[in-house]
Amino acid sequence: MIESKIQQQHLDQKILETFGELTIDKKSVRELKIREARTITSFVEEWLVSRYLSKTSDKSELYQAITDFMSKHLPKKTEKESIKNRLLSGDSIVLLDKFSVRIDVTKGLRLVSIPCLELNDAQVIPDILDKHDELLSGGQWGAGRLHLREEKGKNVIELIEFNPMQSGRVRLDKVVEARGEFTTEEWIYLLIRTMGYEPSAYTPQQRRILLLRMLPLIHKNINMMELAPKGTGKSYIFTNLSRYVWLNSGGALTQAQLFKNLNTKEIGLLGKHDLLVLDEGQSISFKGADDIHAKFKDYLESGRYSIGGHEVPSECGLMILANIEIFDDKPLREDYIRHLPEMFHDDALMDRFHGIIPGWEIPRFTTERAAQGIGIKADVFGEYVHQLRTVSAYGFSYGQAPELKGDIRDVKAVQRLSMALSKLLMLNSGDPDYQHHVFEPACKLRERVRSQLAALNPNEFSPGLKITSSQG
């Protein structure tokens, strides 16, 4: 355990020396209170702090420089008409935003979405897409220069320059080399701090549970749930760590939003992102629930769905976050899955989820549990875990899964979760920590799914995990 002040300071120094400019003091960033001036994600906030920290270490000057930049380049929604007026007056304007591009083949247009201006019909010069194709696959944060031009007697807002707000690809061999400087517990400490939590404020078991939130970001097509009381920070990392995540907070979702809009031909959320997070899962609703239910079952099983005569493959994972009632630090009822909408009471759909995180074991997220020191920058780490999804065994030697036999869905779930944990912790089966930190947590995640399957349909499902080692 890493608990004493001296041990924490020693480890923080090791993190700083090992990762250097890839790190940032999470507490110092938070104390600047940039987010009180503007609502932005951690990866944008830390990028801005890093950008100006090299110019000054004075907190008041740093705050002023960042807020000045945001006032100029990150406008409030109330300022959108003023920005448009400047464009109409002939100004060329640089905005920091999440730009995304969709192609209207019928009209021959490349259409840009600019959230801060609430526009989705601006245009972009082709050269930008040649250099930044991620604008076409879910969008990208960056600084974009806009101007107004005339086309067929109409004014068109056009994106003419774009500089992505990211740290670029992370060299995996360097991360593997750095991992060798840390014990498994120390590495977990670093990961938790990077996620935005303070590891010393949690027990070792709680830290291991927090890590499980990362798994759908690290490995493709992982489907999970986290069920917990309110206030445990379930959605915290999904809104702050990765630009490849889409978080939907409650409300009704349609088939067009999730899969594909047949009118505009735009691919839905499950086809655009690394992970779709449905927050407030206990109150979410679906328009056309029967059709969505059928497509969910197809997609969660195969990683593809059919709509409008087309088959759409995707590597996007699904995470359901829901509040449930707790008594004596445990779910109030054994069939706690019934806190979710009726769609998820179908055992055939439930069987396609790989794991359930026991969020009821995580204490409420307080100021003391927010990161208090050195961690890896959020934008850097977000790029790193994104790379891990598609890395080959030749470029990254971790990600091993045990050889198992038994119920096919149990086997697939445990293997997929084990692969993700192996990548995250850089532990393979020959490592003495593999059983405790990789295989056992993967089994427990799937066991909770089995317990809910048994509660939903006791005639067909038993609560125990139906796998054995193929070596046995």
Domains in the chain: how many in total?
2
In the structure, what pLDDT confidence band is assigned to residue 167 with cuts at 50, 70 and 90? low
Residue 169 has pLDDT above 80, yes or no: no
Q: Decide: pTM greater than 0.85.
A: yes
Do 250 and 386 share a structural domain?
yes
3-state secondary structure 27-55: HHHHHHCHHHHCCCCHHHHHHHHHHHHCC
- Point out the domain boundary residue: 139, 164, 189: 164
- Residue 267 CA to residue 304 CA, distance in Å, equals 12
* Token output for 129: 């897409």
Phi, psi of 216 (to 5 degrees): -70, -15
Which of the listed residues 351, 368, 397 is the one where a domain comes to its end? 397
Assess whether 152 and 234 both reside in one domain. Answer: no
* In-domain check, residue 267: yes
Q: Are residues 107 and 222 in the same domain?
A: no
pLDDT (tens digit per residue) in 32-82: 888 887 778 888 888 888 888 877 778 889 999 998 888 888 887 788 899
**How is residue 91 written in tokens?**
């100004």
Same domain, yes or no: 156 and 176: no
Determine the Cα–Cα distance for residues 335 and 209; give it in Å rounded to an integer: 21
The Cα-based distances of 419 to 97, 203, 415, 447 in angstroms read 34, 24, 6, 17
Q: Are residues 287 and 328 in the same domain?
A: yes
Judge whether 228 lies within some domain.
yes
Convert the pLDDT of each residue in 85-134 to its tens digit: 999 999 999 998 889 998 888 888 899 999 888 888 999 999 999 988 88
Q: Are 196 and 241 in contact (CB under 8 A)?
A: yes
Residue 158 vs residues 112, 116, 143, 303, 369: alpha-carbon distances, Å: 8, 15, 14, 36, 44
- Quick one: 251 and 282 in the same domain? yes
Do 338 and 208 fall into the same domain?
A: yes
Length of the chain: 472
Q: Which residues contact 446 (CB under 8 A, 6 or more apart)?
A: 354, 355, 410, 413, 414, 417, 465
Are residues 320 and 177 part of one domain?
Answer: yes
Q: Of the candidates 381, 362, 60, 360, which has an alpha carbon nearest to the alpha carbon of residue 191? A: 381
Instruction: Write out the residue range of the structural domain in which residue 306 sits.
Output: 172-397
Degrees to nearest 5, angle at CA 411 with 407 and 412? 120
Is pLDDT above 70 for 166?
A: no
